[in-house]
Amino acid sequence: MTVVEIFYFEGCPGHAAAAELVARVVKDAALNVEVRHVEVANAVAAEQLRFLGSPTVRVDGVDVDPDADQRHDFAMQCRVYSVNGRLQNAPRREWIERALGVAR
């Protein structure tokens, strides 16, 4: 079964937005996936988990952001994503769909 993990820490606004986006993609595509919310407790955990900030969305262990593998700034930080020239608190829908193998 495919697993979607949403890594977060309390205090960053993107967790709820990412969770809602993942839920919409899963529902719209009628997918049977397991969604896990993983709270990152501290800087040590952030480094161990290769946490790029809250929220981080991974499908089967791979970050949905295609450029994430080039980054090494693992820390307790709020993560923002560039979508159509604007910054927002959740990744692009297309990235999640691509990671889940859903064609639009």
Structurally, how many domains does the chain consist of?
Answer: 1
Q: State the pLDDT at residue 84.
A: 85
Quote the CA–CA distance of 43 and 75 in Å, as a whole number: 6
pTM: 0.94
Q: What is the mean pLDDT of each run of 10 residues along the chain (104 residues)?
A: 96 95 96 97 97 98 95 96 91 96 68
Instruction: Give the helix ranges, DSSP H, for the chain.
Output: 14-28, 43-49, 93-100
Q: Residue 77 is part of which domain span?
A: 3-53+62-100
